[in-house]
Amino acid sequence: MTDQPVLLDVHNLVKHFPIKGGFLRREVARVRAVDDVSFAVHRGETLGLVGESGCGKSTTGRTILRLLEPTSGQVWFDGKEVFKLPSRDLKQLRRDMQIIFQDPFSSLDPRITVGESVAEGLVIHGIGQARERAERVGQVLSKVGLHPSHMQRFPHEFSGGQRQRIGIARALVLEPRLIVCDEPVSALDVSVQSQVLNLLRNLQQEFGLTYIFIAHNLSVVEHISNRIAVMYLGKMIELATRDDLFRQPMHPYTRALISAIPLPDPTIKRERIILKGDVPSPINPPSGCRFHPRCWMARDICKEQEPVFEQKAPNHWSACHFAEEVST
């Protein structure tokens, strides 16, 4: 997939949230949610973004779309610098960049029908007349496995899996090129997860979509992604093709995550790596490598010097002083 042109290019993305205190409500600290993240997404591929809760992966996705304003950094989408676009041009760009939210219950307005919810983007962008919009919504609902008659129903009349299909239809109706899937299956039953994942893959093939697929479940990411990026405490620590990442991880944290994936065959044994301690606070991250307090391979240099996120092998990047040792 890397032979395709780059659609999205992220350079040194930073998003900090100020913490204010005292009588004058001055800034006393910052939550370093995303701290100097860079990557590219090629046209037509699925980039999986994985990590523990609180690592900054959802914040990364929302900042790329400017649902959150960045602290610093650059994002280029198809040659346009997203963070410098004026409001009018940004509104036009939003037709090409959509998001599927994690919670299928709170992401839909309970007071309006499904048809109105899916058609909302068409109305905002002034696309078509009322009858044309209704036809378009019916077509998109059919694409995601629902019946056009469901347009007249309200969100509370649907199951969680059906609501997520509605969320997918809402993102799809504007015919975008990039969709940020923000943990779209984490709130669903396991049997429904596979249905939604297969739906997303089919829609990608049919419409030529590009995905950033955010999840904390590596087995789900493995199923749908072409390449996988691993985040830890606001930093990107590894990026590789799906096969390379699982066959030869080059960061201790990635190796620990892979060791936690359950195996379907009980006769196969895998060495389980138990990480010590808790994830440090993003308000005051550790010096040097942010993973060193929990890393069994940590040495003095890890505490003192932050590793550079650099290419260690063809199409394989890692931020570890001892990446070659991890992979052996």
Residue 192 is part of which domain span?
6-96+176-326
Sequence-separated (6 or more) residues with CB below 8 Å from residue 158:
114, 150, 166
145 is written with which tokens? 């496995």
- 41, 61 contact by CB (below 8 A): no
The structure tokens 């090129």 sit at: 177
pLDDT digits (tens, 9 = 90+) for 198-220: 999 999 999 999 999 999 888 88
Residue 246: CATH number of its domain: 3.40.50.300
Answer yes or no: is 147 within a domain. no
Dist CA 38 CA 9 (whole Å): 8
Dist CA 51 CA 215 (whole Å): 7
In terms of Cβ atoms closer than 10 Å to its own Cβ (0-12, 13-18, 19+), residue 246 is: middle
> Residue 137 carries which side chain, given as an amino acid letter?
V
Quote the number of domains for the chain: 1
Dist CA 255 CA 249 (whole Å): 6
Per-residue confidence (pLDDT) for residue 105, from 0 to 100: 84
CB atoms within 10 A of CB 315: 11
Looking at the chain, which runs of residues are DSSP E strands? 6-21, 26-42, 46-50, 72-77, 80-81, 97-100, 178-182, 210-215, 227-232, 235-241, 310-313, 316-318
Answer yes or no: is 202 within a domain. yes
Q: Which residues of 106-142 are buried (b: 16+ CB within 10 A; e: fewer)?
A: ebbeeeebbbbbbbbbbeeeebeeeeebbebbbebbe
219 is written with which tokens? 């087995």
Per-residue confidence (pLDDT) for residue 262, from 0 to 100: 79
- 40, 10 contact by CB (below 8 A): yes
Answer yes or no: is 248 within a domain. yes
Per-residue pLDDT tens listing for the chain (328 residues): 457 899 999 999 999 999 998 888 898 899 999 999 999 999 999 999 999 888 999 999 999 999 999 999 999 999 999 999 998 889 889 899 999 998 888 889 999 999 999 999 999 999 989 999 999 999 999 999 999 999 999 999 999 889 999 999 999 999 999 999 999 888 788 888 888 899 999 999 999 999 999 998 888 899 899 999 999 999 999 999 999 999 999 999 999 999 888 777 777 777 788 888 888 999 999 999 999 999 999 999 999 999 999 999 999 999 999 988 886 6
CA 214 to chain centre: 3
> Residue 319 carries which side chain, given as an amino acid letter?
A
β-sheet with 72-77: strand ranges across:
26-42, 6-21, 72-77, 80-81
37 is written with which tokens? 């993240």
129 is written with which tokens? 């007349």
Residues in the chain, total: 328
Answer yes or no: is 195 within a domain. yes
Answer yes or no: is 207 within a domain. yes
Side-chain-side CA neighbours of residue 222 (13 Å): 12
**Which pTM value belongs to this model?**
0.92
> Residue 131 carries which side chain, given as an amino acid letter?
R
Answer yes or no: is 281 within a domain. yes
Answer yes or no: is 161 within a domain. no
Q: Which of 121, 56, 123 is nearest to 95 (CA)?
A: 121
Q: DSSP characters for 122-133?
A: HHHTT-S-HHHH
Sequence-separated (6 or more) residues with CB below 8 Å from residue 179:
97, 98, 99, 100, 171, 172, 209, 210, 211, 212
Answer yes or no: is 125 within a domain. no
> Residue 55 carries which side chain, given as an amino acid letter?
C
Per-residue confidence (pLDDT) for residue 327, from 0 to 100: 67
